[in-house]
Amino acid sequence: MAIREISSSPYLDQKPGTAGLRKKVSVFQQPHYLENFVQAVFDCVPALKGATLVIGGDGRYHNRDAIRVVVAMAMANGVGRIIIGQGGLLSTPAASHLIRKHDAAGGFLLTASHNPAGPDGDFGIKFNIAGGGQAGEGLTQRIYERSKAIDGYRIYEGANVDIDRRGTVVIDRTSIEVVDCVDDYAELMQGLFDFDRIADWISRGNGVRFDAMHAVTGPYAQRILVEQLGAPAAAVINATPLSDFGGGHPDPNLVYGKHLFDLAMSEGAPALIGASDGDGDRNMILGKGIFISPGDSLAMLAAHLPRLPGYRSGLRGIARSMPTSRAADHVAKALKVPLYETPTGWKFFCNLLDAGDVTICGEESFGTSSSHTREKDGLWAVLAWLNTLAVTGQSVEQIAQQHWHRYGRHYYARHDYEGLKGPDAEAVMQAFSGTLGALPGHKLGDWEVTLADEFSYQDKVDGSLATGQGLRVVCGDHARIVLRLSGTGTQGATLRVYLERYESDPSALGWTVADALAPLRTALESLARIGELTGRNAPDLVT
């Protein structure tokens, strides 16, 4: 057993996206591809030497092989202690919590989040820093620059670690601990929510259904919902993590979670239906007869959170990404707390969380969480809704209707145009950008344009500036159109269009989303010319 220096040549495509490096499995299986990226991280984060490192993943295909590589390289690069989730599994929020609990210098998360898995699917890796948050823009760029110049890596040969057996082994100078992937996370949730009250609510016949989508949250949901809260075993479906996620798409939305929507609209629907994604950081919430959009979920949870045990001291602030529905803004105003609007990417929330400026934050891409961790947390959102239902004694629909009558309703939809040719996607952005300068003061449908620009963000904590964060046309509080290119795909370009309309008149709170947004869809085509420039007559996905 020895440390070997392996020569390699750089790959020039290792620029991380919104949350890490995501590529096809076949790309990661190229000689030295994963190793080069991991070495670039070690070279850029010297604090890992002698420190604690957390490693885990969502269980997708190539997860175990990748973990063996990362462990061997961590040993060769002088990491003092390695903590691994049993079976190589750790949900993203659970990994973030372990980093914080053990004062680790960082963690490697092997995941491509909501992207499909399997031999022909996607794989990904991201580095979370000390404190549990995602690597910031500066570190991400340094890692990318290093990856383009790297000429070799260090790896420890002969380190055979049984990641399926809990316990601690010491190999050479490195302590390696395999831990139960659920224990610490479940303990954290017990400190935030009233488990006794939720269990009583469930025992009184209020049905729950949670879809783990054959991804990482299955063991978490079974432990917490079934074993600790007393829900029947059938309450958790698709609970066994599979390397191909059962052939499904682990993205909890109205397209890939249509079976859950159909269940919610059926006779005898459970009181609460939830789902999470591949790595456990996204969520979908439905009640009997109703779907709760991510922006509404953020706003409704923010309004009720101070009634829950872990948040009775009140909210310090609320944060949302710029494209996310502005529903939370009205709650922040009513609670007299700050509202922060950031670019897309959870890392932008982390500085606010670390500074103690916000308690709850969320993104339109089905991500919600609080100050308990530094990642979005799908199961946390489900438990927060369960506790809210138990405390209020209301149904999901009653909570929503009450909220809309108090704060008004934000009709909202995201249209995804996936797999576009890069030049076509850029052409749309350029066409839309070219209209912005002339729009303020003119009409967009029935509304006057008050702002048309490209969003940028100056971090109030570290002063960093993020530019090029999406194009937007704003009509005061009444309506918005936002365009941006996504950073989470692995093939082609994904154009995302966000449409939002606000209504406070009680007579306008029962429209369908499609009808409410029809005027904005018409205006969008004249401004962005998506059909003309891409040949696409409709989006691939509407959520």
By annotation, the residues acting in catalysis are: 113
Question: From CA 485, how far away is CA 343, in angstroms rounded?
Answer: 12
**Residue 408 token pair:** 């008004």
Q: Decide: 60 and 109 in contact? Cβ < 8 Å.
A: no
Please tell me the number of Cα atoms within 13 Å of 543 on its side-chain side. Answer: 25
Among 287, 276, 181, which Cα is nearest to 238's?
A: 276
Q: Decide: 108 and 45 in contact? Cβ < 8 Å.
A: no
Question: From CA 368, how far away is CA 532, in angstroms rounded?
Answer: 36
Q: At what angle do helices 92-101 and 183-192 cross, to 10 degrees?
A: 90
**Residue 50 token pair:** 């002698």
Question: From CA 74, how far away is CA 392, in angstroms rounded?
Answer: 48
Question: From CA 299, how far away is CA 326, in angstroms rounded?
Answer: 9
| Amino acid in position 505 | D
Adjacency order of strands within the sheet including 167-171: 21-24, 122-129, 106-110, 52-57, 81-89, 174-179, 167-171
Phi-psi region of 93 (alpha: psi -120 to 50; beta: other; left: phi over 0): alpha
SS3 472: strand
**Residue 212 token pair:** 């783990």
Kind plus residue range of the DSSP H or E element containing 178: strand 174-179
Helix, strand and coil in the chain, % to nearest 5? 35, 25, 40
**Residue 366 token pair:** 């089905």
Beta-bridge mates of residue 74: none
Q: Decide: 21 and 108 in contact? Cβ < 8 Å.
A: no
What single DSSP character describes residue 203? H
Q: Decide: 90 and 181 in contact? Cβ < 8 Å.
A: yes
Q: Decide: 98 and 266 in contact? Cβ < 8 Å.
A: no
Buried b / exposed e over 250-285, threshold 16 CB at 10 Å, is bbbbbebbeebbebbeeeebbbbbbbbbbbbbbbbb
